[in-house]
Amino acid sequence: MSFMRIVRTGVSGTVMTLLLGIPFAWAIDRETAVGLGKRAEAGNRPALLDLKRYARSGDLWSEVVLGDFYRRRKESTSDWGKALFWYRKAAARGSPVAQMDVGVAYYYGQGVPDNYVEAADWFRRAAEQGFPAAENWMGSLYAAGQGVYRDEFMAFKWYRKAALKGDAGASTNLGEAYMEGVGTARDPVKAVFWFRKSVLRGDPEAEALLGSAYKYGQGVPRDFSKAVHWYRKGATKGSVMAAYGLGICYARGQGVSPDPERAYSWLWVVRHAARPGSKTAMIVSRELGFLARRMTPEEVGKARRRGKEFIARRPFSF
C-alpha cells in the first residue's frame, strides 16, 4: 500500500476511527485523498485500490474523491451510478461537498432522472452549512424558479452570501443582479465592482460581462477598446459570451479595425456551441451569412479552420 499522510488529532488511531465511525481505518485528509484520485485517473491501479479501500472503510474524503473518479471516467453508463453511490454515502454523513455533488447529479440527470426539486433539496443542505458553491446554486435556482418558487430577492440573497465568501461564480451572478436590477435596485457601478472581483478570481464570464459594461457604458465610461480587451480575455478562456462580443466588435469595427475573417471565426465558435435551433443559433447564423457575403470562399474556409483551432484549444459551452 502506498504511503498515506494521516490527519493528526492528538488521539490514537483506533480511538480516532471509532469517534469518526470508521472501523479500524485511518482517516486521510483531503489533500491526500485528492492526490490518490489524480494518480488513479492517470491509470495508477495501486492508487485506485488504496482509494477504494479507504472509501469502503468509511473515510469521508475518499468517498467524495472516489465519486469524482467515477464521474470523470464515464467509461460506461454505470459510472454515473457509481459516482452517485459514493456521493450519497458522504452526503448522508453531512459532507457539503458531496451534498452539492448529489444536487448536481439530480439537476443534470447524471445517474438519475433530472429532478430540480430533489436537486434544490440537496443544494439547500450544503448551503445551510455555509458552502459557497451551493449558496450560488441556490441563487440560480431561485432566479430561474427551478425546484423552488421563483424569488428574485432570495436569488440576490444567496448570491451575495456566496460572493462575500469569495465564490467567483457568485460574484459574477451578483454583478448581473445589480446590472439588471434582479432582487435589488439596479446599480451598474456595483455590478462592475463585482465583475472586477470575479475577474480577479479567474471567471471568464465576468470578463465577458465587463467587456459589455465598457461597450455600452454601464457603470464605466463607454470605451470600445477596453470592451475588446475584456472580450478577448474571456474568449481565449472559453467564454461563449465573450466570443460573441469579440466577433461582433470585429464585424462592426468597434474598438478594432473591421475584420470579417476574424469576426467569422469567433462567431462560428458561438454557433458551434449553441443548441441547434435555438434563438442564439439563429441570430449567429444570420450574422455569419452577412459576413460571408463580404468574403471570398477561401476566406470563409480559412475563418472556419481558425474557429476549429479555437475550439480544439479550449472547450466552449453555455
pLDDT of amino acid 149: 97
Cell of 258: 473591421
Give the pLDDT confidence of 174-211 residue by residue, as tens digits. 999 999 999 999 999 999 999 999 999 989 999 999 99
- Please list the residues that pair with 6 across neighbouring strands: 28
Neighbours of 43 (CB within 10 A): 8
Checking if the pLDDT of 151 tops 90, the result is: yes
Average pLDDT over residues 21-41: 77
- Half-sphere exposure for 192 (CA within 13 Å, toward CB): 17
CB 187 within 8 A of CB 220: no
Domains and CATH numbers, the chain: 1-127 (1.25.40.10), 130-201 (1.25.40.10), 203-318 (1.25.40.10)
In this structure, what DSSP letter does residue 275 have? Answer: P
CA distance 158 to 141: 10
CA distance 237 to 159: 23
pTM for the whole thing? 0.84
pLDDT of amino acid 11: 31
Estimate to the nearest angstrom the gap between the alpha carbon of 113 and the chain centroid: 21
- Summary mean pLDDT of the chain: 89
pLDDT of amino acid 318: 57
- 91: nearest Cα among 83, 99, 101: 99
pLDDT of amino acid 202: 87
